Amino acid sequence: MVRLSLAVLAVAASAMFSPADAERRKATDLVTLNGCTRYQPAACTMLDAGGTTYYLVGQTVPTKQGVTVTGRKAGDISICFAPAFEVTSWKPNKKLKCP
């Protein structure tokens, strides 16, 4: 009986920490931001979104246009003097008017 209980406990524990579960948790870390991109010297693509400026890394995003980016915050203040945002996907946002 004790062996059966331990076996059930081991199976339940392994199901809680499966790789599929880890992927689901990672997907929930994603954030979507809408804003205007701009170039900043030192080869930085910046995103002004909701009163905060982010340095975009991971994918090439065009500057001087409105975009919707999805990704996750990748750290603290970077070389571009803004928090880094790792972009996993982006698309143009025609509703935004950017300078």
Residue 22 lies in a domain: no
Answer for the pair 78, 46: CB distance below 8 angstroms, yes or no: no
Residue 21 lies in a domain: no
Q: What is the pTM of this model?
A: 0.69
Q: Which residue has the higher pLDDT, 4 or 26?
A: 26
Look at the alpha carbons of 91, 60, 64, 39 in this order and tell me if their dihedral is positive or negative. Answer: positive
pLDDT band at 7 (very low <50, low <70, confident <90, very high): very low
Residue 99 confidence (pLDDT) above 70: yes
Query: For the chain, how many structural domains are there in total?
Result: 1
pLDDT digits (tens, 9 = 90+) for 29-81: 899 999 999 999 888 999 999 899 999 999 999 999 999 999 999 988 888 99
Residue 19 confidence (pLDDT) above 70: no
Residue 49 CB burial class (10 angstroms; 0-12, 13-18, ≥19): buried
Residue 62 lies in a domain: yes
Beta carbons within 8 Å of 24's beta carbon, 6+ residues apart: none
Residue 1 lies in a domain: no
